[in-house]
Amino acid sequence: MTKFRPAVVITRRLPEVIEERMAELFDVTIPLNDKAMSDDQLAAAMNACDVLLPTVTDRIDADLIARAGPRLKLIANFGNGVDNIDVAAARKRGITVTNTPGVLTEDMADFTMALIVAVARRFSEGARIIPGGGWSGWSPTWMLGRRVTGKRIGIVGMGRIGQAVARRARAFGLQVHYHNRRPVSARTEEELQATYWESLDRMLARMDIITIHCPHTPATFHLLSARRLQLLKADAILVNTARGEIVDTDELTNLLEAGHLAGAGLDVYEHEPAISDRLLKLADEGRVLLLPHMGSSTVESRIEMGEKVIINIKTFIDGHTPPDRVLPQL
């Protein structure tokens, strides 16, 4: 008996080893280029496959799901977050959604600590000086940054990545504080020597470094609102490697322009890939470090993400619940 090979449409190019493995297992359609699909292209794909394999750049909203054909039974997201997918609308249509959690933890934590140090020590500015011919030699008062060791770091969101950041922060001599929907276990708090703040407002007002590691949901949209950003100390720095929508970017820009924050490091943006001219100007002036959503960009993480997608698809096709099924948030 011939084994069923599901039709799988991949929306973006994946590591070659993953594409080859999928081609062995499934009836795969791989895009010719690595450009995001339009809504019409996504709708056409969702009418021609059993499994759609989108990425974070594909917005699979309720309207698009309503245009899906009856064949589509699984959306196997290539990514940890699923804020790009209307999971509730998918479930109503009988479409299962999966993601790839736990793969990015260590890479994201490494990246976050690197970004914190880079902002505090003004690496971005320094890296431009020598190629630009602006270095005339060492000076005791030139290019002064801020020490990281001994400072207070406030972690917003204490899941896998937040905890991995906390471990690294301890190694850098930082005092670890965190805000979460609920405290982590007493054992984890003791291991991380972390202090829980029930009030996000109070924590923000007392930290030297704020780093964001919560998912983007309706409840966390502009969690760091204009009011909350104004609570930050004037010599604080803010780092966001989670989702751009969590921070009120306009107010963050206002504070940076006014000199009411020491600096910021951003890897994610509210309207990616668009970035405001004001924010770009601040980057030119060295008051904010902007990176192109590359926090999880390692060869290892992309391959592991692909392997998780394959497992989710195979498990689903075999009639079992995928290990990384995502359910709508209540």
Catalytic status, residue 320: no
d(CA 12, CA 63): 21
DSSP character string of 258-295: TT-SSEEEES--TBTTB--HHHHHHHHTTSEEE--S-T
Place of tokens 């004037």: 234
Q: Decide: 117 and 176 in contact? Cβ < 8 Å.
A: no
Catalytic status, residue 20: no
Catalytic status, residue 19: no
Catalytic residue among 12, 177, 179, 243: 243
Catalytic residue among 59, 121, 260, 293: 293
DSSP character string of 145-203: ----TT-EEEEE--SHHHHHHHHHHHHTTPEEEEE-SS---HHHHHHHTEEE-S-HHHH
- The residue count of the chain comes to 330
Catalytic residue among 191, 257, 272, 307: 272
Residues acting as catalytic residues: 243, 272, 293
